[in-house]
Amino acid sequence: MKLVRFDQGKWGILEGETIYQTDGPGGNPTGNAFDIGSVQLRSPAEPSKIVCVGRNYLEHIRELGNDFGNNLPKEPGLFLKGLNTLADPANPASPDNTGEAVPYPSFTSLLHYEGELAVVIGSQMKNVPEDRALEHVLGYTCALDVTARDVQKTDLQWVRAKSSDKFCPLGPWLVTDLEPEKTTVRTYINDQLRQEAPTSMMIFSVSKVLSYISSFMTLEPGDVVLTGTPEGVGELKRGDKVVVAVEGLGDLHTRIAH
């Protein structure tokens, strides 16, 4: 099932080209229906926090020069992105609708893309064991973890590098029945494939990550978890078109402002 958030924050179920409005994410039908081409798609989540895993694919750790040798990280390395980072996706059914552009801030000269599988929580999670974690997921979507790589290396914390305005395009919708360990994440820049990896290559699985977070931080319905990026990260230029495509989900189309 595909869950869509649109216009002023309405929710609906997408079937074919029609959105059947519901009274919340996965809620009861209101009787209203909309053509998907006629709406503005919104980030498909209303989180209280966005929790992100850094360095969750081995080859990405190596490409950033953080070689652990044979000593893989024992626990997921986490950071937060602010809610100001959410950016609405383009509407694939409406070519003129390009969504919200990611600004290119003046403080950086090295903006990077990180395409990722994102998880949206459906029910509260506190101390949930790994084998029950996926029961609390509302759905999955695509995320672009925009990163100012130069200041990530020099600032004390990653606030500017990870949480500048619109640094987290998310969408285009949620898919509720994806198997998160059996899909593939791809990122295209101006139609060229730059990242491609099966999610089975994650060091910490989605179940493990969610369980781990819930051991010290209550995850609330709507919260977003970014699961880390594969190898192949690289530079974004002004005006670039970015597509994050997670197999079985649909494509997140976004762009970098001029």
Give the footprint of Mg ion on this chain (CB under 5 A).
114, 145, 229
Please report how close the Cβ of residue 181 comes to Mg ion at its closest, in angstroms. 18
Please report how close the Cβ of residue 103 comes to Mg ion at its closest, in angstroms. 19
In the chain, the amino acid numbered 98 is: T
Please report how close the Cβ of residue 245 comes to Mg ion at its closest, in angstroms. 16
Give, in degrees to the nearest 5, the angle at Cα 101 between 99 and 103. 165
**Which residue's CB is nearer to Mg ion, number 161 or number 174?**
161
What is the CA 53 to chain-centroid distance, rounded? Answer: 11
**Which residue's CB is nearer to Mg ion, number 46 or number 114?**
114
- Residue at shortest CB range from Mg ion: 145
Alpha-carbon separation of residue 22 from 36, 59, 243 (angstroms):
14, 42, 28
CA 153/CA 160 separation, integer angstroms: 11
Q: Kindly give the pairing relationship between strand 86-87 and strand 168-175.
A: parallel
Please report how close the Cβ of residue 147 comes to Mg ion at its closest, in angstroms. 7
**Which residue's CB is nearer to Mg ion, number 13 or number 50?**
50
Please report how close the Cβ of residue 228 comes to Mg ion at its closest, in angstroms. 6
**Which residue's CB is nearer to Mg ion, number 38 or number 66?**
66
**Cα separation of the two ends of the chain:** 36
**Which residue reads 């209550």 in tokens?**
218
**Which residue's CB is nearer to Mg ion, number 161 or number 249?**
161
